[in-house]
């Protein structure tokens, strides 16, 4: 079976990173974590195009690719991580995340301070990728 490929975009607003807060029911318990905006790469779409599209769909903002950060392979898929630069738009939940939002499959936009990253559960290698991206972001914006 071919692994699902996804692209994720890390977006900073000063000392905060834009994430999706998730709470979803799995069996009789709820899982709570944060995820970097992103999703599946569609046919004939580049990883970069998917990243830009998915960030727009999930958060309603426009971004551009700044830098490829690396990838993560796991049981069911492969995730490609990008540092992105905010271009325009007002951050708000959109796309399937907004449509499918309910108490058993909850999504919300979250701005998390970089200093608080270690206090939350971030899906996959997201936390490591955010820290790596933030060092690059800081150098470029100081």
| Closest residue by Cα to residue 51 from 18, 13, 25, 79 | 79
Following DSSP, what letter does each residue of 47-112 receive, concatenated?
HHHHHHHHHHHHHS-EEEEEEEEEEEEETTEEEEEEEEEEEE------HHHHHT-BTTEEEEEEEE
CB neighbour list of residue 40: distance below 8 Å, 6 or more residues apart: 4, 5, 6, 50, 54
Q: Which residues are catalytic?
A: 99
């Amino acid at each position: 079976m071919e692994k699902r490929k996804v692209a994720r975009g890390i977006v900073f607003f000063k000392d905060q990173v834009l994430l999706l807060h998730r709470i979803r029911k799995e069996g009789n318990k709820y899982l709570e974590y944060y995820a970097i905006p992103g999703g599946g790469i569609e046919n004939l779409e580049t990883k970069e195009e998917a990243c830009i599209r998915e960030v727009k769909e999930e958060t309603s903002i426009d971004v551009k690719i700044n830098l490829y950060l690396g990838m993560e392979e796991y049981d069911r898929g492969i995730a490609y991580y990008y540092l992105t630069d905010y271009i325009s738009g007002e951050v708000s939940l959109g796309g399937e995340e907004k449509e499918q939002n309910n108490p058993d499959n909850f999504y919300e936009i979250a701005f998390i301070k970089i200093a608080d990253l270690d206090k939350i559960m971030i899906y996959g290698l997201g936390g490591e990728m955010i820290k790596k991206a933030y060092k690059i972001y800081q150098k470029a914006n100081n």
